[in-house]
Structure 1
Amino acid sequence: MPSTTVAVGSAVGLHARPATIIAEAVADAGSTVTLALESGDPVDAGSALMIMTLGAEKGTNVVVTAEDQNTLDAIAALVAKDLDAE
């Protein structure tokens, strides 16, 4: 599965609102996606609760892995975006 590393863009990290937006996008994609800290175990990106367990703050590098490149690009873009600014 393809993967990429991106820095968290949300001002307060991957807390409830950004995690929910990402999890909903994964569900809409209908694909398996995981997120992981560079030194940690991957979690299911389809679960907002699991995303929040990463404790990823703004600027933290997160490894995004997905079944296909289009889904990977879309979810990686969300992780890198400031989802609190919307």
Structure 2
Amino acid sequence: MATEERTVTVASSSGLHARPAALFVEAASGSGHKVTITKGDKKPANAASILSVLSLGIEKGDEVVLSVDGDDAVAVADSLEAFLLEDHDA
């Protein structure tokens, strides 16, 4: 099983709060892969859990580490990275 890890700067103007967080969680859980997201020195959060993602308090401009485990980890990481680089509040 492959693991793909990326550092991404969050572009959404409200960070990963409310609607953008829900969309991100939906994309992560729908991938069928184990996906975690980490901000700073906080514990990695399960990206398929809205409460875990919201608990990180991710704001616009924050750098997060995205980690994807699974056979097609690179493609899933590409998709989730593209999501984080887009402003979902525009």
Give the TM-score normalised by structure 2.
Answer: 0.88
Sequence identity of aligned pairs in percent?
A: 38
Which residues of structure 2 form unaligned runs of 5+? none
Q: Does 1:78 align with 2:83?
A: yes
Q: In structure 1, how many angstroms separate the alpha carbons of the residues matched to 2:38 and 2:23?
A: 17
The answer for the alignment partner of 2:36 in structure 1 is 34
Q: In structure 2, how many angstroms separate the alpha carbons of the residues matched to 1:44 and 1:15?
A: 15
- Give the greater-gyration-radius structure (CA): 2
- Name which of 5, 13, 17 aligns with 1:15: 17
Give the TM-score normalised by structure 1.
Answer: 0.92
For the residue of structure 2 that corresponds to 1:59, the secondary structure is: coil
**RMSD of the alignment, in Å?**
1.0
For the residue of structure 1 that corresponds to 2:6, the secondary structure is: strand
Which residues of structure 1 form unaligned runs of 5+? none
Q: How many residues align?
A: 85
> Greater share of strand residues, 1 or 2?
2
- Name which of 6, 9, 19 aligns with 2:8: 6
